[in-house]
Structure 1
């Protein structure tokens, strides 16, 4: 029985599809680093010239943007 292998490391193209963001976003975010008023880059791994993303890092990065309340409620609580 051959089970499909789920790769732990994703290429830039695979990562962009996984997080529904463009490859240019990933490239620009890597170059810019974490800057004020910019969406931070997800963590990445550099192996030689190859850039790879760990699936669990992408999941944690996505989770960091989840809003548990409505934006209007956040503004009224101050």
Structure 2
């Protein structure tokens, strides 16, 4: 982002509802918003954490490693 172009943020989900909610929350920010749907080979991580926070971290780290981009994940347990 140092060259003035927005960075890419990957939403670590394929869930249409979560994508809609997160895009609405992030509206107006300078990020180029992508999702796991834009990366068909993106792995679906095993949610082996002991809390919603740990599961969100697992998803974000897995997607970030695969895409080389910053990733944002949510795990509400629903």
TM-score, normalising length: structure 2: 0.26
Bigger CA radius of gyration: 1
The structure with higher relative contact order (CA 8 Å, sep 6+) is 2
